[in-house]
Each structure stands twice: as structure tokens, then as C-alpha cells.
Chains A and B, each alone.
Chain A
Amino acid sequence: MATDLHRPVKTLLETGPADTSPPASHNGADAAVRVEGLTRSFDGRAVIDDLDLSLKAGEFTVLLGRSGCGKSTLLRVLAGLDREISGTVLVPRRRAVAFQAPRLMPWKRVWRNVLLGLPGKPERAVAEQALAEVGLAERAGAWPKTLSGGEAQRASLARALVREPDLLLLDEPFGALDALTRIKAQQLVAELWQRRGCAVLLVTHDVDEALLLADRVLVMRDGRIAYDTSVALDRPREVGSPGFTDLRSRLLTELGVEGAGRATGLGAQSAGHTQARTESTESPDASPARPHPDPHHGDPS
């Protein structure tokens, strides 16, 4: 059962992301998420198997994993969208999700999409402010289907941020974007997180993306957190700095992509590509950029 854990926003702001102590040792006091013994089964097969996890308030956590490892299922559980679970899940009441597909209601103009579901009758200015934060103020009155992929994804981000979440859940939000737009979107997310100071959980299979953004990287395997490391690199980060390269090859090994860590840029990129989106539990937000099915599906070597 997902239970709401109340946390005032102020506490989140006081807790800086600078703490580099081993993340596994978090006690519950400053947690934005606390999960104990979570199990989620599909037809008797446990996709999440007795998983324990706690996320610190204000921390940027990236959850890495191969296709079908259950990372998206975990995100859906934390979002409260999947409640067929056993175990304890404590999440903040104010949480927001941005999916891989922007999932804007096509029949509502962008600003109405941003305000959708907010309590009371918020003014258009509230939406415009959130849109301005993602650099989309001038498209507030547009129909969603007239937006480009990057614009739609930013609108979706604004829709999540306008809720002032204590926990922001991002389910491969850059997966469907082209390479250039993705870089900009990653920078935007990093900026927004630094400004807002909310806890972020980003699900991805892109190791470089994880190392650019994360305070802490988790690797999920066999329904559990198999590897957990903090990333103590200075921000803003760059792909290819010394510490970066070491961590990347370590993470790729953890993900079962042996040897690819030695290669530079291109190799890491193709390693990301082998993580095709064929999870049965994942929404069919098919990414046109990654159409190849994973040959090692469900076989963590």
C-alpha cells in the first residue's frame, strides 16, 4: 500500500545534495522515499523482488537497468500508478511524473494542460510562469500537436513542476528526443533540480546521462537494487573527465555490458542502444530512435 509521507518543502531545501556518505545508510529521518520489502509480480513472476530503497530529500538519483529489470515498474509504484504490490512504500504526497512520451491532452491548449488536475481554479499566469521556467512561455496558447518533440517534453516537464513536487519522477523523459535536443533537455533538468531542490528519480538506460546528472546511481537487477554508488563529481560535468570514465566502465560492467566501458563516446552510446525498450511492464512509448530489440533480453550476463 502506498502511504503518504508528509514532508514540508523547507526541510527539502535545507538538505543539500552535497552529502557523499554511502547512500544505503540513510535512516528514515530525511527520506523523500522509503521502500521496504516491495514485491510486484506479473503472473507469478516477481519483477520487483523484496526491494529496499530510500531516497534522500533533495537528492538526484538515477536508476539504471537493462530492459525488463523492473525499473519502470518501480517508478510507476512510486508514482502511485501501480498499487498491485506488497511491502511498505512511503512517498511524498506532492509528487509528479514526466513520462517518456509527453502525454499532453491534445484537446487542451498547452497552458490548460499545465494546470490540469491542480486544485482550485488557478490563473493562466501560473501556467505561464511554469512554462517560462522551461523556456516555453510563448507557446502557452498552442495546441499540443503543433509542438515539436522537445517542446512537448518541456511542456510535460512544466506540467510536473507546476505542482511543486517534493519528488519528481522522470521515466526516460529524453528517450524519444534527438541527440541535440536531449543534451539541452538534460541541462534544463539539471538547472530545474538545482533551483527547486526536490528529490528526483530518473529512470534511464543511458549511462552517460546518469553520470551527467546524478548524485547517486542505482543499478537494478533481478528485481532488486544490485549496485548503489554516489557520484561525487563536480558540477557542471562533462562526458570524458577522468572520474567520469572510471565510473562509466564500472556501471557498464554492472549492467552486464563487458568491455564496452573501454571504448569512448560511441561505444558507450551503442551500449545504451542495446537497452531496447521491450519491457512488458513499460508503457508502449516506443522510441523511434531505438527500434532494435535486445538480443540478451532478460539475461543479465
Chain B
Amino acid sequence: MTVSHAPPSAIPAPLEKHSAPTPTPPELEAVVPASVRRSRLRAAPRWVRRAVGPLLLLVLWQVFSATGVLDPDVLASPGTIARAAADLMADGTLPAAMGVSLQRVVVGLLLGGVIGTSLALVSGLSRLGEDLVDATVQMLRTVPWVGLIPLFIIWLGIGEAPKVALIALGVAFHLYLNVYAGIRGVDAQLIEAGTSLGLGRWGLVRHVVLPGALPGAMTGLRYSLATAWLALVFGESINADAGIGFLMNQAREFFRTDVIVVCLVVYALLGLTADVIVRILERLLLQWRPTFTGQ
């Protein structure tokens, strides 16, 4: 490896200041501003660039369907799906099904949320509670909750109860784990500072422990929402007489792949909405965190 030094003539310069030869100035190159170098595709806004891929996929899908490469019994064309969605909206089937499904999720979420958070508070805040609750929950957690569907049907019948219970179960575990970890992860130094400020046990819980556990709780909420939708799909695929899952099962009987895809899209949109709600909640509740820059 060669290392280029200053020209040798420059070395005695410090000794004889006046006779030092003027160093030859180096060749300069311009630092071109980034905006000048941008190509036209790069100049497009980021969201436009990100939309190109999905749009291309849609166009390909439509082309394959139109040319008959893709059989409608395998997968309907985007156009047909859009029409099916419009029809289902118009005759009120889809809104009604959405209402039923949404209600299941909300009830299950509330039930599971209350159970999971309460258990996490009990085991997070007291050592006795931890010994009693945590081992039990950790043991039950190893059982795959989807596998409980047959038992739930035997216990609760085939009405709303097993579906709500399944959602509540999935939600409760996720919230329990994250809230519990959040409580136990609160900085011991802050607890000590709180003690030195004269906070009692309840004061510490209220001003130090619970706010400190909030980021963990929000993570838990996000996971549990994702689980809730998953549990809904599982729950509704068995013995449903209403809701989006029922719509899907019915469509399967008649090979209506267009309706099935509409239902999938609705599931996705509902999940997306839930995620947006959590994001807004985080922005409101965790505004003290400088790391949070979601825009």
C-alpha cells in the first residue's frame, strides 16, 4: 500500500519560513448537490415508488385472468373481486358481517385485556402474586391456544361464546407477558429515587411502576390485536352462522373465490385499522419518549 506524503521539498519549510516554496494547491473537485444528481424515478416521492410494486402485481394478475391463464375457480380477477365487493356492500351483507365480527373482536379484546392486565398487575407488583400466578400462566402458555377449539366447543357450545373465549385467551396471554415484563423492567434506580422522595408503596406504583410499564403494555396491546384477528379467523371458520368467516365458508361452498378474496381484504383492512389506533394511542401516551418519531 502506498501512502502519499507531502512533497519532500516541503519538509524543511518550518526551519526556513521565508524561503519555503509555496506548496502547489491540490486539484479541486466540486461536491455536486444531491438534488442535481437525482434521476427522474428517484425524484418521485417515496410513496409513489413504494406503490409501483403492488400495482404491477395487480396489473399482472388482471392480465393473467383476462387471458385465461388464471381460472376464475382458482382465483377471480381483480375486476370481479371489486364488483363482488361493491355488490356485497350494496346489499348490506358485508357491513352486517363486519359488524358481527368486529363485535366478537371487541368483546374478546376487552375480556382478555382485563384478565391479562389484572393477572400481570398481581404477579408484577407482589412477590406472592408472582409465585402464585406466574408459574401457572407460564405453564398454560405452552398449550397452543388454537388447539383448545374442540374443548371450547364442548364446554361452550357453538354460539358466540367459544369464539369470544378464543380471542380473549390469545389476547390475555400476550398482554400478561408484556405488562408483566414491563413492570419488572422498570428501572430500579427510579424506584429508589421515588423512595428517597418519600413516595409510599401506592405512590411508587402510580407514579413510577405503571408509567414505566406503559411502553411494554403498548407492545403487548399491538401483539394481542394481531392475535385477536388471528383468533377471529380460526374461531369463525368453525360453525359460524354470521360474520366474515361465515361469509367465507358460504363462498367456499359455491366456489366464489371473489367473495373469499373480499373477505380476506376486509380482514386485512380491519387489522390495519387496529394497528393505526394503537399507533395513535402510543403517540398520545408515550410522548415523553424522544425515541418515538413515528410520522
Give A contacts to B, CB under 8 Å. 79-81, 96-97, 99, 101, 103, 105-108, 116-119, 143-146, 159, 163, 283-285
Contacts and interface: CB of A to CB of B under 8 A. Distances in A.
A145 B288 contact: yes
Interface string B28-53: 00000000000000000000000000
B290 interface: yes
A81 B192 contact: yes
Given A81-B195, A81-B196, A105 B289 contact: no
B290 A105 contact: no
Nearest to A97: B196
Contact of A116 (B199, B287, B289, B290): B199
A279 to B, nearest CB: 15
Contacts of A107: 211-212, 214, 288
Given A103-B192, A159-B197, 5 more contacts: A79-B196, A81-B195, A107-B212, A117-B194, A143-B290
Contacts of B207: 105, 108, 116-117
Interface residues of B, number: 20
Contacts of B193: 97, 99, 103, 105
A8 to B, nearest CB: 19
Main DSSP-derived SS at the A contact region: loop
B211 A105 contact: yes
A117 B203 contact: yes
A144 B193 CA distance: 15
B289 A283 contact: no
**7 closest A-B pairs by CB:** A117-B197, A103-B193, A107-B211, A117-B198, A97-B196, A145-B290, A107-B288
B189 A145 contact: no
Contacts of A145: 288-290
11 contacts: A97-B193, A97-B196, A99-B193, A103-B192, A108-B211, A116-B199, A118-B198, A119-B198, A163-B198, A284-B189, A285-B189
B290 A103 contact: no
B208 interface: yes
A81 B190 CA distance: 12
A163 to B, nearest CB: 8
Contacts of B198: 117-119, 163
Nearest to A96: B196
A103 B212 CA distance: 13
A105 B196 contact: no
A118 B198 CA distance: 7
A106 B288 contact: yes
A284 B189 CA distance: 9
Nearest to B195: A81
Contacts of B212: 107
Interface centre among B198, B203, B207 (most CB of A within 10 A): B198
A80 B192 CA distance: 10
Interface string B191-219: 01111111100010001100110100000
B185 to A, nearest CB: 14
A118 B203 CA distance: 11
Nearest to B187: A103
A99 B190 CA distance: 11
A155 B32 CA distance: 46
B289 A106 contact: yes
Interface in B252-292: 287-290
Contacts of B192: 81, 103, 283
B202 to A, nearest CB: 12
A250 B240 CA distance: 87
Given A103-B189, A285-B189, A146 B290 contact: yes
Contacts of A284: 189
B182 to A, nearest CB: 12
Contacts of A117: 194, 197-199, 203, 207
A81 B191 CA distance: 11
Contacts of A105: 190, 193-194, 207-208, 211
A21 B17 CA distance: 64
